[in-house]
Amino acid sequence: MENELVLLGRRLLQAYARRDYLAVSRMAIDYLAAAERNRDSAHYGNAIHQANTMLGLIELEHDRVDRATDYLLHSARTPGSPQIKLLGPNMLLADKLLAYGQRSAVLRYLEACRRLWTLSFGTLWRWRWQVARGRTPDFGANLSYLTDYKSFG
């Protein structure tokens, strides 16, 4: 049911906002399982993207950069969603991984996002150009988009 994904997503994001990282890890796995049960939902793509982003952020809390990088790339393996197509994917994990020097992984992520964010109007290209030149882009609203429980759902 579509509402199940929205409810699980909101709860996941609330746990992250509370810094309840143990709950976030458990909830993200449950969210991915629920997404697989609801593959026809318009929220399926958001669930894949959000759960993997949250799992990657938790890995960074434990300084497991390689695992966080894997989750970043998994978050781009979503079929997308109307929200991602219009407003773009979340960049919080990518931003944090840039601080760890993971430019190559972030470039691969941004490249993968090209098929998801079809209405980026050059934003992805600009961010890729900046990362390739050793800069950290200003990701703006994409740092909180799909990770802020107050605006999700």
- Per-residue model confidence as pLDDT tens for the chain (153 residues): 458 899 999 999 999 999 999 999 999 999 999 999 999 999 999 999 999 999 999 999 999 999 999 999 999 999 999 989 999 999 999 999 999 999 999 999 999 999 999 889 999 999 999 999 999 999 999 998 877 665 665
Give pLDDT, residue 1: 46
Q: Tell me if 100 sits within 8 A of 63, measured CB to CB.
A: no
Q: Which of 148, 149, 94, 97 is nearest to 124 (CA)?
A: 94
Give pLDDT, residue 48: 97
Strands (E), 80-126: none
Give pLDDT, residue 25: 96
Domains of the chain: 2-143 (1.25.40)
Give pLDDT, residue 24: 96
Degrees to nearest 5, angle at CA 146 with 145 and 149 = 105
Degrees to nearest 5, angle at CA 151 with 16 and 120 = 100
First to last CA, the chain: 14
Q: Tell me if 38 sits within 8 A of 70, measured CB to CB.
A: no
Using CA atoms, how far apart are residues 60 and 24, in angstroms rounded to an integer? 13
DSSP 78: S
| pTM for the whole structure | 0.93
Using CA atoms, how far apart are residues 122 and 135, in angstroms rounded to an integer? 17
Give pLDDT, residue 151: 63
